[in-house]
Amino acid sequence: MYDYIKGKIVSKQINSYRGTHIVVESNNTGYLILTNARTISKIKDGEEEIKVYVSLNHKEDSMTLTGFLTKEERDIFNILQSVSGIGIKLAMLILNEFEISEIIDIMIKQDYKELSRAKGVGAKVAQKIIIELKDKLINWANVTPENIIEVKNEKINQDTLIEVQSVLISLGYSQEEIKNAFKEVMSYNKDINKVEDILKSSLTYLSKL
């Protein structure tokens, strides 16, 4: 229903009885948007207008808006909630602890111990998240690289690019966006060759679009 809300930042609260949230006024309507401390820390004091990527969460007895400053965070938030037993609160805590690139790196490495650093995530929950999400974030299905990967770099195995490409596709990026990201990343860093490094640099580029 909503993709993003752009408007004036009215208030931001970390320890409120309503939960950590911001209020954004757009077209004379104030939207209370649940978020986390990491997101609030990125909103500069005095910043008059912001763009927040949101999700509408509907339960039997309530509806809430949750939001982040990038669509990647919003999308990962939604993906995390697809794990049975993972709700808004726990997904927020995970995104408060880790950057997007760190979460994806954890999934790639299946690092249960690292994921369990997040508040409220024990070892068993961490294992469950990784087991259920690794196929969603790292789509090992046959993904044809033609017309997407047009990068010639002898230091990079094509399987590495396909792996990064699969993650970006799962986050909703188009083939054209991914192709341009790879070209940009390789143009300024000829020595980059690890999945996590290429992914992090690609996400940095794509977040600026």
pLDDT, residue 155, reads 63
- In this predicted model, what pLDDT tens digit does every residue of 96-111 receive, in sequence order? 999 887 887 888 788 8
Is a pLDDT exceeding 90 seen at residue 185?
Answer: no
Is a pLDDT exceeding 70 seen at residue 7?
Answer: yes
User: For residue 147, what are the CA distances in angstroms to 121, 156, 179?
Assistant: 40, 18, 8
| Residue 22 near residue 12, CB atoms below 8 Å | yes
Q: Looking at per-residue confidence, does 129 or 155 come out higher?
A: 129
Is a pLDDT exceeding 70 seen at residue 147?
Answer: no
Nearest to 75 by CA among 98, 54, 99, 97: 54
